[in-house]
């Protein structure tokens, strides 16, 4: 009986030792992996990449997308770097996505971490171009607009807004990014002539706000009207009565705005 107890005690101690080793090791391992995965949120992924969390789960770190990329801009993050280990990324200032129409990187991906649902490269959302209006030459009033000219979706993803430039006769041509269309290819960032790019690509989550569903913009046509007024069938088209003043003085009432 006594022997049995000793054997049982030994077994229990062994079991406790084994369990604590497994739990400690497991916790440490899990911590390492999770730290690595959230290394930093600035990774720009190839087109079609799933949301960062799903992407990190699905990517098998094979580099097939890197191999097939025609402009060879993709890299696999090395160990010990800022980005999640082994996953593909690109740095627009060094090499921007050229938006191949056949999207070879997505086709090469074996796991679907780059989603095959992306069939039109213009629908890609790798990131969002953001303009530093304090350092943008165009916003300063110089005629640059290189980002607009080089944008593969110019007129949609980047539009120019003109504005009188103070006392000068010339206008300011201000580039504006439209997030609905911007694919985040980074051609603008690569092309930007300033010492540090005044337009750069950032992951959406870092820059984009969200209005919230409880706000209703009653004056837009696609907003559901819940109040008890209805818009007239068509907007009034009759031009306002001429005010008799010189053109431009009463511009608020002249229409065209």
Partner 1 sequence: MSTAADLSHDKLEQRSFPARLWSWRYIVLRRLVQLGILMLFFGTAHWAWEYPAKTPLLTGNLSASEFIGMVPMADPFATLQIFLTGHVLQGKVILGSAIVLGFYLLLGGRVFCAWVCPVNMVTDLAGWLRARLPIPAMFHVNRNIRYFVLAASLVLSALTGLAAFEWVSPVGMMHREIIFGFGAGIMALAAIFLFDLLILKNGWCGHLCPLGAFWSLVGRTAQVRVRYDKDSCTHCGECAKVCPEPQVLNLKHLERTGVVDSGECSNCGRCTPLCPEGSLAFDLRLLIRKPGADKSVSARRTK
Please identify which residue in 16, 20, 71, 81 interacts with partner 1, judged by CB under 8 A. 81
The residue among 27 and 249 lying less far from partner 1, judged by its C-beta, is 27
Please identify which residue in 58, 153, 160, 171 interacts with partner 1, judged by CB under 8 A. 58
Please identify which residue in 112, 141, 153, 204 interacts with partner 1, judged by CB under 8 A. 112
Shortest Å, Cβ 94 to partner 1? 13
Task: Report the candidate in 252, 129, 257, 106 with the shortest Cα–Cα distance to residue 202.
Answer: 129
Please give the Cα distance from 23 to 119 (Å, whole number). Answer: 45
DSSP string of 90-102?
A: --TTT------TT
Residue range at the interface with partner 1 (CB under 8 A); choices 3-11, 55-63, 232-240, 246-254? 55-63
- SS3 call for 87: coil
Please identify which residue in 49, 66, 131, 172 interacts with partner 1, judged by CB under 8 A. 66
Question: Rg for the chain (alpha carbons), in Å?
Answer: 28
The answer to whether 137 touches 194, Cβ cutoff 8 Å, is yes
Please identify which residue in 42, 52, 68, 95 interacts with partner 1, judged by CB under 8 A. 68
Chain positions 84 to 103 lying near partner 1, rule: CB under 8 A, are: 84-86
Chain positions 14 to 33 lying near partner 1, rule: CB under 8 A, are: 22, 25-26, 29-30, 32-33
- Number of Cβ within 10 Å of residue 2's Cβ equals 6
The answer to whether 42 touches 202, Cβ cutoff 8 Å, is yes
Shortest Å, Cβ 97 to partner 1? 18
Please give the Cα distance from 184 to 186 (Å, whole number). Answer: 5
Residue carrying the six token digits 């890197």: 66
The residue among 69 and 129 lying less far from partner 1, judged by its C-beta, is 69
The residue among 52 and 254 lying less far from partner 1, judged by its C-beta, is 52
Q: What's the distance, Cα to Cα, between the start and end of the chain in Å?
A: 98
The answer to whether 189 touches 96, Cβ cutoff 8 Å, is yes
The residue among 42 and 181 lying less far from partner 1, judged by its C-beta, is 42
Please identify which residue in 44, 56, 118, 200 interacts with partner 1, judged by CB under 8 A. 56
The answer to whether 136 touches 176, Cβ cutoff 8 Å, is no
Chain positions contacting partner 1, by CB under 8 A: 22, 25-26, 29-30, 32-34, 36-37, 53-54, 56-58, 60-64, 66-68, 75-81, 84-86, 108-113, 116
């Amino acid at each position: 009986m006594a022997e049995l107890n000793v054997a049982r005690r030994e077994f229990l101690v062994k079991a406790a030792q084994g369990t604590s080793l497994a739990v400690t090791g497991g916790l440490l391992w899990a911590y390492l992996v999770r730290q690595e995965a959230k290394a930093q949120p600035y990774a720009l992924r190839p087109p079609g990449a799933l949301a960062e969390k799903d992407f990190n789960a699905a990517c098998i770190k094979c580099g097939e997308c890197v191999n097939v990329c025609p402009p060879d801009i993709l890299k696999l993050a090395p160990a010990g770097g800022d980005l999640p280990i082994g996953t593909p990324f690109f740095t627009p200032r060094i090499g921007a996505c050229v938006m191949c129409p056949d999207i070879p990187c997505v086709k090469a991906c074996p796991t679907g971490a780059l989603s095959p649902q992306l069939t039109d490269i213009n629908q890609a959302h790798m990131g969002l171009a953001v303009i530093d209006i304090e350092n943008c030459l165009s916003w300063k009033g110089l005629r640059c607009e290189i980002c607009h000219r080089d944008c593969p979706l110019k007129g949609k993803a980047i539009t120019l807004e003109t504005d009188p430039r103070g006392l000068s006769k010339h206008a300011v041509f201000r580039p504006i990014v439209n997030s609905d269309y911007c694919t985040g290819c980074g051609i603008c960032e690569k092309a930007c002539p300033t010492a540090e790019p005044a337009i750069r690509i950032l992951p959406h989550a870092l820059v984009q706000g969200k209005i919230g569903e409880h706000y209703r913009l009653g004056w837009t046509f696609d907003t559901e009207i819940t109040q008890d007024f209805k818009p007239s069938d068509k907007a009034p088209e009759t031009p306002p009565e001429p005010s008799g003043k010189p053109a431009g003085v009463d511009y608020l009432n002249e229409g065209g705005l």
